[in-house]
Chain A
Amino acid sequence: MIVTLYAAGIFFSVAAPGLEHQMIDSNGHAFSMSDYRGKVIYVDFWASWCGPCRKSFPWMNEMHNRYKDRGLIVIAINLDSDMKDASPFLDELNPEFVIGYDPEGKVARSFDLLGMPSSFVFDKAGNLINSHVGFFSEQTSDYEAELVKLLEQQ
């Protein structure tokens, strides 16, 4: 019984949205979102076959360029099962922010995604503040206002 509870405890502590999860960069080196703790972190999950993800990239580039000096980090996590599928997408859309890869979907599972794309916003203390499923061009001003509010917090 105790063992079961303990196992369940481990399971729930891992299976939650947080910054501790590890992924790899384009060179295959592991990194964690917690490396960027102290900044406002916008985490986006995407895949090359997902149409709305394509719409979100120019906006994320814009946010990155506008707010990087004020402490915003945009991390876009690719979920293609084959990392190579992401290359044409990236060549076309030229993201300037951080790209992570999670080909086995481990991080995605921990965040319990409901759809693609999904985004999660963490404040400077690393607390999950909000999440969005899908990307809607008409809501970008709301997304941006939320980031600005968090960037102004100490």
Chain B
Amino acid sequence: MMQKLKAGYFLVLILLSQLSGCASVEPWEKSAFAREDMQLAAEELDLALDDHIYFSKEGASGGRSFSGGGCGCN
């Protein structure tokens, strides 16, 4: 019983120690997020490959950047 309690305390301590890894980023520290290569659509080739996978494996196209929903009517 005592051993279990100790293990519990130990676990809580370890979890608490991980909280120091959570740091808030201040508005003026966001320069890295503003970089072009940090944007969601930064890599043309990557996006083209994604589109190809959606089209050929899932039979779906569109939804990201081109018109038409796969119904064949556009």
What residues on A are CB-neighbors of B34 within 8 Å? 49-51
Interchain CB contact under 8 A, B31 and A49: yes
B31 partner, pick from A51, A81, A109, A114, beta carbons under 8 A: A81
Flag whether A20 is at the interface (Cβ < 8 A).
Answer: no
Residues 8-28 of B at the A interface (beta carbon under 8 Å): 26-28
Total cross-chain contacts (CB, 8 A): 30
Number of interface residues of B (CB under 8 A): 8
> Are A108 and B31 in contact, CB atoms less than 8 angstroms apart?
no
B29 interfacial by beta-carbon distance below 8 Å:
yes
Chain A interface bracket (under 10, 10 to 19, 20 to 34, 35 or more): 10 to 19
- Over the window 48-62 of chain A, the binary record of Cβ atoms lying under 8 Å from chain B Cβ atoms (1 yes, 0 no) is 011100000000000
User: Which residues of B are found within 8 Å of A85, using beta-carbon distances?
Assistant: 31
Residues from 22 to 70 in B contacting A, C-beta threshold 8 Å: 26-31, 34-35
Q: How many whole Å from A98's CB to the nearest CB in chain B?
A: 19
**How far in angstroms is the closest Cβ of chain A from B47?**
22
Q: Which residues of A contact B (CB under 8 A)?
A: 45, 47, 49-51, 79-81, 85, 105, 108-109, 113-116, 118
